[in-house]
Amino acid sequence: MVVLHALIWRLLHDPTRRHAYVTYAAQFARDQMYWAALLAHQVELTPKSESLERWYTGQGGGVVATAIGGPSPATPWAGCWWWTTT
């Protein structure tokens, strides 16, 4: 959960940055982004969303969630690559 809080904090402080959240399984990444969305709404950060795997801020930043070996971000992500294994 600390990683999710850090991700939301980074988006709040610099909504122009793009981040990637990478984990061991695609379903786990989606589940984590669900919890991150709840956290985002609590702090009034409401990114536009195509799905749980991709969020965009109004300032051009956002986050993509994927699994190891899964699809990589199609655009360069200049922010942090958040990596979790459990």
Q: What is the pLDDT of residues 37-85, one digit of tens each?
A: 888 889 888 778 878 888 888 888 888 888 887 766 555 555 555 555 5
Neighbours of 19 (CB within 10 A): 22
7 and 62 Cβ atoms separated by less than 8 Å: no
Collapsed DSSP state (helix, strand, coil) of residue 24: coil
Residue type present at position 9: W
Strand partners, 75: none
Strand partners, 81: 20
Residue type present at position 64: V
Q: Look up the pTM and report it.
A: 0.75
51 and 84 Cβ atoms separated by less than 8 Å: no
